[in-house]
C-alpha cells in the first residue's frame, strides 16, 4: 500500500480583523443566550468581502502551495475535494470553478457536502483511500467558510449571540503518495441518530429559497445547545482515544492537537479529557472565531509557520460536525514539505 502524506497546507483569511464591538455595540444587540458559555465572544474574526466567493478564497489559499511546489504540480493534481460551508450557488458546488481557476483536469472531483466542521479529516480519509486504491497519486483538499460575513451580519441576525462567534477563511491541504508526513490512521463516525438536529430558522416559516423578509439564522435553543455540548464533549475525545489506541500510543503522547473550534468550552473540555496541556492543543479562536470546517487547516498552517509543529511531532487533527452527526480524527507524523 502506498504511503499517503499530508505534504503541505496553506490558508487565507479575508479582509482586516473585525472586532467584537461590531456586534456588541450594534443597536438592540440583546439575546437571552448572550451569557451562555457556547457564545463567549472572541476578540476578532474575519469576514469575506461582499463579492468574495468560495472559489476566490480557495484560489488565494492555494497560491503558497503553487509557490512552494510549482504551478504544474498543483495543476496536475489527480484528486480535487472541496467543502464549502455556505455554497455560493444552489445546485452547483465550488469544485469545478476551482479546477477552472487553477487550470486543473482532475480524474476525481468531489464537492463534499457533509462532515461540516470536521470535513478536513473526512476529505483526508477520502484522499487517502483514492490514493491507495486507484492510479491517483496527488490530491488537493479545500475547506472554504464564508457564512460569517454573509449570514451572520444580516441586520436582525447581527443582534443575536450566535452572530459574533463565526469567522471566515479558507484552508487547503496537498496530499501525496510520498514518505513526507505520513497519515498513520483515520477514525471517522457517521452518526445517523443525530441527523437533522442542526436546524435553521425563518420567523415567517417559509422555506429558505421562498421569497420573504425574515432572515435565516441557526435554530439554537437552550435545549438544543445542551444536546450539542453533551455530544461534542463526548464524541471528540472518543474518536481521538480510539485512534490513538489503534496506532499504539496514549493520548498524552500527542505532540500537537488541532480541532475545530466552536467555542472555548469545547477546547478546554477536549484537552482536559485527553489529558493534554493547553500548549499542545493549538487553536486560533481568539483571532479568527469559529471557522467551521476551515479551522483545522488554517490553524495547522499557522502552527507550522510559527514553528509550533516540529519535525517528527505526532499531530492529531479532530472534531465533530453539526449537532453531532459526524466525528473524526486523523494521526499524522509530521515532516515538513516546505522549502
113-169 pLDDT per residue, tens: 999 999 999 999 999 999 999 999 999 999 999 999 999 999 999 999 999 999 999
Q: Where residue 35 falls among pLDDT bands split at 50, 70, 90?
A: confident
Instruction: Provide the CATH number for the domain formed by 184-333 in this structure.
Output: 3.40.47.10
Planar angle of CA 186, 176, 241, nearest 5 degrees: 15
* DSSP labels, 245-296: HHHT--GGG-SEEEE--S-HHHHHHHHHHTT--GGGEE--HHHH-B-GGGHH
Distances (CA, A) of 318 to 16, 101, 154, 337: 28, 30, 31, 22
Tell me which of 3.40.47.10, 3.40.630.40, 3.40.50.300, 2.40.170.20 is the CATH number of domain 5-179.
3.40.47.10
The answer to whether residue 32 scores a pLDDT higher than 90 is no
Same fold, 5-179 and 184-333: yes
Could you tell me which residues come within 8 angstroms of residue 184 by beta carbon, excluding any fewer than 6 positions away? 247, 331, 332, 333
3-state secondary structure of 121: helix
pLDDT reported for residue 178: 86
Report the percent of the chain where pLDDT is more than 70: 99
Beta partners for residue 321, in sequence order: 326
Distances (CA, A) of 293 to 142, 156, 232, 307: 9, 25, 15, 23
Instruction: Tell me if 228 sits within 8 A of 323, measured CB to CB.
Output: yes
> Would you kindly state where each structural domain of the chain is located, as residue ranges?
5-179, 184-333
Task: Evaluate whether 41 touches 269 at the Cβ level (below 8 Å).
Answer: no
8 DSSP assignment: E
Give pLDDT tens digits for 245-266.
Answer: 999 999 999 999 999 999 999 9
Q: Does pTM top 0.95 for this prediction?
A: yes
Taking every pair of Cα atoms in the chain, the longest distance, rounded to a whole number of angstroms, is: 59
| CA neighbours closer than 13 Å in the CB half-sphere of residue 268 | 6
Amino acid at each position: 500500500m502506498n504511503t499517503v502524506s499530508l505534504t503541505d497546507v496553506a490558508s487565507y483569511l479575508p479582509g482586516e480583523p473585525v472586532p467584537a464591538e461590531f456586534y456588541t455595540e450594534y443597536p438592540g444587540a440583546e439575546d437571552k443566550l448572550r451569557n451562555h458559555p457556547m457564545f463567549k465572544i472572541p476578540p476578532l474574526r474575519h469576514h469575506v468581502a461582499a463579492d468574495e466567493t468560495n472559489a476566490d478564497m480557495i484560489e488565494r489559499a492555494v497560491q503558497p502551495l503553487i509557490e512552494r511546489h510549482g504551478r504544474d504540480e498543483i495543476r496536475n493534481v489527480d484528486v480535487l475535494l472541496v467543502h464549502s460551508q455556505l455554497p455560493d450557488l444552489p445546485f452547483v458546488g465550488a469544485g469545478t470553478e476551482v479546477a477552472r481557476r487553477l487550470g486543473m483536469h482532475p480524474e476525481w472531483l468531489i464537492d463534499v457536502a457533509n462532515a461540516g466542521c470536521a470535513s478536513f479529516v473526512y476529505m483526508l480519509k477520502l484522499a487517502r483511500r483514492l490514493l491507495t486504491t486507484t492510479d491517483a497519486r496527488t490530491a488537493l483538499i479545500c475547506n472554504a467558510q464564508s457564512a460569517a460575513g454573509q449570514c451572520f451580519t444580516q441586520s436582525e441576525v447581527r443582534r443575536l449571540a450566535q452572530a459574533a462567534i463565526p469567522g471566515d477563511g479558507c484552508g487547503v491541504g496537498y496530499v501525496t503518495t510520498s514518505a513526507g508526513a505520513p497519515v498513520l490512521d483515520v477514525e471517522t463516525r457517521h452518526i445517523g441518530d443525530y441527523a437533522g438536529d442542526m436546524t435553521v430558522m425563518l420567523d415567517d416559516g417559509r422555506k429558505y429559497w421562498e421569497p420573504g423578509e425574515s432572515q435565516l439564522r441557526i435554530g439554537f435553543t437552550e435545549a438544543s445547545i445542551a444536546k450539542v455540548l453533551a455530544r461534542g464533549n463526548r464524541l471528540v475525545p472518543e474518536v481521538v482515544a480510539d485512534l490513538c489506541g489503534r496506532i499504539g500510543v496514549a493520548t498524552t503522547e500527542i505532540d500537537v492537537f488541532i480541532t475545530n473550534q466552536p467555542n472555548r468550552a469545547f477546547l478546554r473540555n477536549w484537552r482536559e479529557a485527553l489529558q493534554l496541556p493547553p500548549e499542545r492543543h493549538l487553536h486560533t479562536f481568539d483571532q479568527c472565531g469559529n471557522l467551521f470546517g476551515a479551522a483545522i487547516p488554517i490553524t495547522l498552517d499557522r502552527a507550522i509557520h510559527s514553528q509550533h509543529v516540529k519535525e517528527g511531532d505526532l499531530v492529531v487533527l479532530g472534531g465533530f460536525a453539526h449537532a453531532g452527526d459526524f466525528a473524526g480524527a486523523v494521526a499524522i507524523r509530521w515532516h515538513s514539505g516546505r522549502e
